[in-house]
A = this chain, B = another copy of it.
Amino acid sequence: MENYITLYKETRRKLKAYRYFGWLMGWDQETEAPELAVEYRTKQYQVLAEESYKLQSDPQFMEAIEKLHENLDQLGDQDFKVEIKNAYKDLRIVKKVPKDEFIAYQVLVSQGSQIWAKAKDNNDFSMFEPTLEKIVEFNRKFVKYLETPELKGYDILLDMYEEGFGVQEYDLFFNTLKEELVPFVLEVTKNNRQKFSRRLTKAVYPKDKQKEFSEYLIEVFNYDLKRGVLKESAHPFTSGVSTRDTRITTHYHEDNFTSSIFSTIHEMGHAIYELQNDPKYDDTSLHGGTSLGIHESQSRMYENMIARSMAFWKTHYPKLVELFPKQLKDISVEEFHRFINQAQRSLIRIEADELTYSLHVMVRYELEKQLINGKLKVKDLPNKWKSLMSKYVGKRPTTDKEGVLQDIHWSGGMIGYFPTYALGSAYAAQMYQAMNKEIDIEKEIENNNIKAINEWLRKHVHQFAQSKTPKEILNICTKEDFNPTYYVDYLKNKFSSV
């Protein structure tokens, strides 16, 4: 048994290094690499994919995992048991998916984002369609390879991003939203064109001042730049590899200054989660967020529940006014608070407001479900997208740039990922309730003491990294199972009063 453990840990060490190289290449690609570097980089990705695959499919390594899994009880360490369970689950892929197909797919998706970005720039779905065809095609074959009596089709993809959540769970969740939320949203957003000062909507907010405010926010949220980086990229994201290196990006639009504020805070929510993992997991396979849903619950809580609250802006609005004295002259904190909490029918998910956001996600969930079960073809995506948007969000896109081409995810092969975004907001509402029983959240926010919130979340969510499943985390944190009514109640309550 000792030999198996040694072998497992030695291979893990190498795999962690390969993941690090891939992580860094991804970070570089999105933030820095020159345009024409793509071809050469892709060749190196190919070597990395081959070498990683070779390690993962090494018969001795696979045997070690199987033997350790057979003898789980003999492994004293609880964390190590979880690791072996996960590794055993991952073995499915190596055992059942043909190597060449798998590697070819890795290479395909490593190039996908560049192709997608060009298609989006040109507002031309046909430039992206052949790539997306291949990605969907692979995923449909992929779920066939992995099929078991218990888990089939789209469920397999969903479970990879959110363990324990399949079509059954999501259908229940989204049906609640369809029944309870969609009518409310369509009503609230019917004629809600609020009036705001032109200085909020039309003034120019210089980028360097926005950057200064980002730096201020970094202090407020206690995001540690000795263990992080803030950069710019087309689409904000968080990219972490250890509790000593978790980086974020944002973007600045001079005609939409609140976008960078909430993007930066959103990504800090993700980053703080990983930075507050117990460092003992850094060299194991358990570092990071346990699932995308739990990850998103943290970013959404920081962005929406903390940073769009009146308590937050009571304290921080003066700083914003100091940076933009002309633009925000005579604009009260109440008006600003209403401005950042507008609910309206819109087209772009990442710019969508808190109220309508999960309905954007519901569109993607239904499309993915149909793509994977074969009821929808890639070429029909643009139109289907438009009609579902019209139905759930009450607004129909006229271009693909504002429709099916807006998100990067599918270009990187991420199918089954989107639904976790909506789940995250629902988790967040449930967690917030639980936390509020122990600390007075609004008071801490108003006292500029986000540290207290960070610390509560560290104890109840972050420290566990991937050593607990999403369902376990939710139970530790809220002492009950997932319950989406907290979310619906929270939204109805907030958007009836705003």
Chain A residues with a Cβ under 8 A of chain B: 13-14, 16-17, 20-21, 24-25, 27-28, 32-37, 39-41, 43-44, 47-48, 51, 225-229, 231, 241-242, 244-245, 247, 282-283
**Residue from A27, A32, A39 with most neighbouring chain B CB atoms (10 Å):** A32
Interchain CB contact under 8 A, A227 and B21: no
Determine which of B16, B33, B244 lies in contact with A36 in the assembled complex, contact meaning CB atoms within 8 Å. B244
Copies of this subunit: 2
Determine which of B35, B39, B245 lies in contact with A40 in the assembled complex, contact meaning CB atoms within 8 Å. B245
Interchain CB contact under 8 A, B43 and A17: yes
Known: A44-B16, A283-B43. A242 touches B24 (CB 8 A): no
Determine which of B17, B24, B227 lies in contact with A47 in the assembled complex, contact meaning CB atoms within 8 Å. B17
In the assembly, what is the distance between CA of A20 and CA of B39, in Å? 13
In the assembly, what is the distance between CA of A225 and CA of B40, in Å? 16
In the assembly, what is the distance between CA of A118 and CA of B392, in Å? 57
Interchain CB contact under 8 A, A36 and B227: yes
Determine which of B13, B24, B48, B244 lies in contact with A28 in the assembled complex, contact meaning CB atoms within 8 Å. B24
Determine which of B32, B41, B225 lies in contact with A34 in the assembled complex, contact meaning CB atoms within 8 Å. B225
Determine which of B47, B227, B244 lies in contact with A14 in the assembled complex, contact meaning CB atoms within 8 Å. B47
Which B residues are CB-close (under 8 A) to A245?
Answer: 33-34, 36-37, 40-41
Which B residues are CB-close (under 8 A) to A44?
Answer: 16-17, 20-21
In the assembly, what is the distance between CA of A39 and CA of B425, in Å? 35
In the assembly, what is the distance between CA of A225 and CA of B241, in Å? 29
Interchain CB contact under 8 A, A227 and B37: yes
Which B residues are CB-close (under 8 A) to A229?
Answer: 32-34
Known: A34-B245, A245-B40. A48 touches B226 (CB 8 A): no
Minimum distance in angstroms from A18 CB to a CB of chain B: 8
Minimum distance in angstroms from A179 CB to a CB of chain B: 46
- Which residue of B has the minimal Cβ distance to A282? B40
A-B contacts, 19 listed (Cβ < 8 Å)? A16-B44, A17-B48, A20-B41, A21-B21, A21-B25, A21-B44, A21-B48, A24-B28, A28-B28, A33-B229, A34-B225, A34-B228, A34-B247, A35-B226, A39-B244, A40-B241, A40-B242, A40-B245, A40-B282
Closest 6 CB pairs of A and B: A17-B47, A37-B245, A21-B21, A20-B44, A40-B242, A17-B44
Minimum distance in angstroms from A50 CB to a CB of chain B: 9
Interchain CB contact under 8 A, A242 and B37: yes
In the assembly, what is the distance between CA of A14 and CA of B46, in Å? 10
Determine which of B27, B40, B283 lies in contact with A244 in the assembled complex, contact meaning CB atoms within 8 Å. B40
Minimum distance in angstroms from A228 CB to a CB of chain B: 6
Interchain CB contact under 8 A, A37 and B244: yes
In the assembly, what is the distance between CA of A51 and CA of B47, in Å? 13
Known: A37-B242, A227-B37, A244-B36. A14 touches B51 (CB 8 A): yes
